[in-house]
Structure 1
């Protein structure tokens, strides 16, 4: 079982890249559960318990997909929920930290915020994407999972991601 996570600030092309990689490699794709969650629950009044619930369900969906596919592209990870909780609420709940330590990825792709901001009712941080990117970079640099930064637009971004997976020795 090989898992690749795609992380980064809002509006940096994670979902588009994840779907494109899954199509290219003909492997499983785990969509970002937060979108589904907020389609059911009102976004404007969420709290830390919502972020925990999102992280837990995302983790469950990943594990369920892992029984069906040998390779997974995951559009988010517990790290995304950790940073979201820290930025929005000032701390990371133990439940998210535990999820983060219980899942392992063979590699992580960190999407640079070099794409134009796309407004979306679920997005909250158009002005601080560079600062959020730096937070991701710090967390990933301190960890042991190999990661690479993905840049570029359109097909260039997909090609960059494929090249970066190759530099980590990941062959899907």
Structure 2
């Protein structure tokens, strides 16, 4: 049996982390007593790498978090980040190695990579360490971070670790006034895209009471907004490329104004923090359905409420795409909108 090495280092830019990286990390972790995963970063270089890809640069903190989550149950694996300039000059490799050694704080006797071409560099940078090449031919995972950046993460979704996928999930908020078809559309889109969705938590909250007019305390709307965001976060973890969300904080603010009589500062702040890739605004031009909770069935009131809600989104500077027509027309239009953002 081969003697176990003591301290190993597996480094890279990980833009983004993929299953090939995870496979190499796990293999390395079985060889050494301690494995140190090092995320190297150079913000200026990374801006150039992502230019023209349709993807935004991934921060070192985000990559560090991915690795921390991926290795959470591996007690002998430690994660670090080190700034390492990527100019192609060997002195930058030297400076990077020095920073890595200082970060690890122990003598590194084994360095890991998936590139045999690194032999020359590592022999000079880590003269007392053995360089072990892991899956150089990518037989098990034929993937690279470059391929993911060039072709997009959705093409290679099966190569994206579960811990990394939420970062790339596209979030689609379906908005509108009551009885505009939001819930039905969200469920149908989730079925077609084989993904998860977020229900309007306000509806779940209303079910505790006999009618919506009972929801007149400011704290009701705080709870609705926070609980909705919690479910959003949880469903993002299981979503298949795209997540559909029924309403959001501005719509909750609209109902607060409707039933409490004022806008709540906390909902304004929540609305400022939320980020969606697409807002689909449904016009109330389908038949109003009395479900026992809704109270604004008169068409003139529906139109007035619709104007108020649109104004709130406009005031918040939120861009949205208006969708109208019958249920079939809406469904087809929304699928086209989703397709356009899945690149």
Question: Is structure 2 residue 226 aligned with structure 1 residue 53?
Answer: no
Q: Aligned partners of 1:94, 1:144: CA distance in 2, in Å?
A: 17
Question: Which residues in structure 2 correspond to 1:154-169 (within 5 Å)?
Answer: 154-166=327-339, 169=340
Contact in 2 for aligned 1:18/1:74 (Cα 8 Å): yes
Q: Larger Rg: 1 or 2?
A: 2
Stretch deviating more after TM superposition (156-165 or 59-68): 156-165
**Who is 1:100 aligned against?**
271
Aligned-pair distance for 1:54? 1.1
* 2:312 corresponds to: 139
Q: Distance in 2 between matches of 1:148 and 1:78?
A: 17
Greater mean alpha carbon deviation, residues 38-47 or residues 96-105: 38-47
Match of 1:32 among 200, 211, 214: 200
Q: Secondary structure of 1:21's partner?
A: helix
What is the SS of the residue equivalent to 1:113? coil
1:120 aligns with 2:291: yes
Q: CA deviation at 1:42?
A: 4.1
CA distance in structure 1 between the aligned counterparts of 2:291 and 2:249, rounded to whole angstroms:
22
Q: Conserved in 2, the CA contact under 8 Å of 1:105 and 1:145?
A: no
Q: How far did residue 140 of structure 1 move?
A: 2.8
Q: Deviations over 1:32-57 (max 9, x none)?
A: 11222122244342223212211111
Question: Within 1, Cα distance between the matches of 2:322 and 2:254?
Answer: 17
Which whole-Å CA distance do the structure 1 matches of 2:200 and 2:206 have between them? 11
**C-alpha contact (below 8 Å) 1:152/1:160 kept by paired residues:** no
Q: Does 1:83 align with 2:251?
A: no
2:181 to 6, 13, 31: 13
Per the TM alignment, residue 145 of structure 1 is displaced from its structure 2 partner at its CA by: 4.0
Any stretches of 5+ residues in structure 1 without a counterpart? none
The number of residue pairs the alignment matches comes to: 170
Offset of 1:81 from its aligned partner?
A: 0.4
User: Are the equivalent residues in 2 in contact too, given 1:110–1:148 (CA < 8 A)?
Assistant: yes
User: Which whole-Å deviations, capped at 9, do the CAs of 1:70-109 have from their partners, x for residues lacking one?
Assistant: 4210011111101111222232212211211121111101
The alpha carbon displacement at 1:151 in A equals: 1.0
| Cα separation, partners in 2 of 1:140 and 1:46, compared to 1, 3 Å | closer
Q: TM-score, normalised by structure 1?
A: 0.88
Distance 1:141 1:37 in 2: 27
- Distance (whole Å) between structure 2 residues aligned to residue 87 and residue 64 of structure 1: 29
When structure 1 is superposed on structure 2, of 22-31 and 135-144 the one drifting more is 135-144
Residues 59 and 99, structure 1, Cα contact 8 Å, conserved in 2 = no
Aligned counterpart, 2:324: 151
Unaligned 5+ segments in structure 2 are 1-168
> Structure 1 141/94 Cα, relative in aligned 2: closer, same or farther at 3 Å?
closer
Q: Secondary structure at the match of 1:157?
A: helix
Q: Distance in 1 between matches of 2:208 and 2:271?
A: 25
Cα RMSD (Å): 1.9
